[in-house]
Amino acid sequence: MRIAVVQQPPVLLNREATLMCAVAAIEEAAGQGAEVVVFPEAFVPGYPIWIWRLRPGSDMALAEELHDRLLRNAINLDGEDLAPLFDAARLHGVTVVCGINERDADFSRGTLYNSVVVIGPDGALLNRHRKLMPTNPERMIWGFGDATGLKVLDTPVGRIGTLVCWENYMPLARYALFAQGIEILIAPTYDAGKKWLGTLEHIAREGGCWVVGCGLALRAADLPEDFPGRAEFYPDPEEWINSGDSVVIAPEGLIEVGPLHAEQGILYGEIDTSRVGLARRSLDVAGHYARPDVFQLKVNNRKQAPVNFADAQAGHDEPPPLGSASP
């Protein structure tokens, strides 16, 4: 199976333009024989890079302007915002994994989540996973996800699961996927560098699975001309804001392809899922190497909600009016 890891920049804070870039990348990758196409963390409409340079407690007007643009260009999965990706996946018959800024459509409709979606080759949404723990200043942007999307999916190319960026440092989150028989762990990320690559190598060796890291390669020159704070925070157009370092790692923990460093493009790799079983012959951390009599993991994968309306629950009658006597 051939996988394409897209290390190209979004049109930051522009949903429609970024989706057109994604559609073009899917077409290019499919033309090169790819069956899976992967995009970086929060690719649509882009990772909020400014959170690492704004002064905490200051620059409030600029922070609000940037957040307003992000909110208006985020994805509502209950609508048609991702239709171009669904259509492209179906047209080319590929599985698509893409990071998005997701706008809550169930409750307040004002909270954003760092989510990753898996789209099947029929154009159907297979899974939505919200990042469990936003990292440090990311908590000023994104809410906390739950475990409803912490699952491994059967796809035409193998059993796929996703963890976003530093979620991959969470041993229990990894173990939850290992226990579901994951074959390909896809890690959309904003991280890069030797330490991050070492982490992904360890995960591949620990889980006996393929690990695909999809990083963001972004220069200051890639920022739109009207990007708020561009001149102040990114004055050098040649600066690499993020170097990417996308990579494909085999179940033995050895890098097969990449890393693609300080370069924009599409990284292609060949994945043979039969190597997963062989890698777990001597070490299967959720199988013969587990000790369930000593250790057990409990995962709450129920949907978390800030409010439950009794009249919306099946089998419940309308509650009596406020102030009326109870029966």
Active site residues: 41, 131, 165
Query: Residue 249: which residues within 8 A CB-CB, separation 6 or more?
Result: 200, 201, 204, 210, 211, 212, 213, 255, 256
- What span, in angstroms and rounded, lies between the C-alpha atoms of 260 and 243? 8
Q: Is the dihedral of CA 12, 185, 151, 142 positive or negative?
A: negative
Burial of 71 (0-12, 13-18, 19+ CB in 10 A): middle
Q: If you search the block for the tokens 């889980």, which residue do you land on? A: 207
Length in residues, the chain: 327
Burial of 23 (0-12, 13-18, 19+ CB in 10 A): middle
Q: Which amino acid is at 36?
A: V
Closest residue by Cα to residue 276 from 194, 180, 187: 180
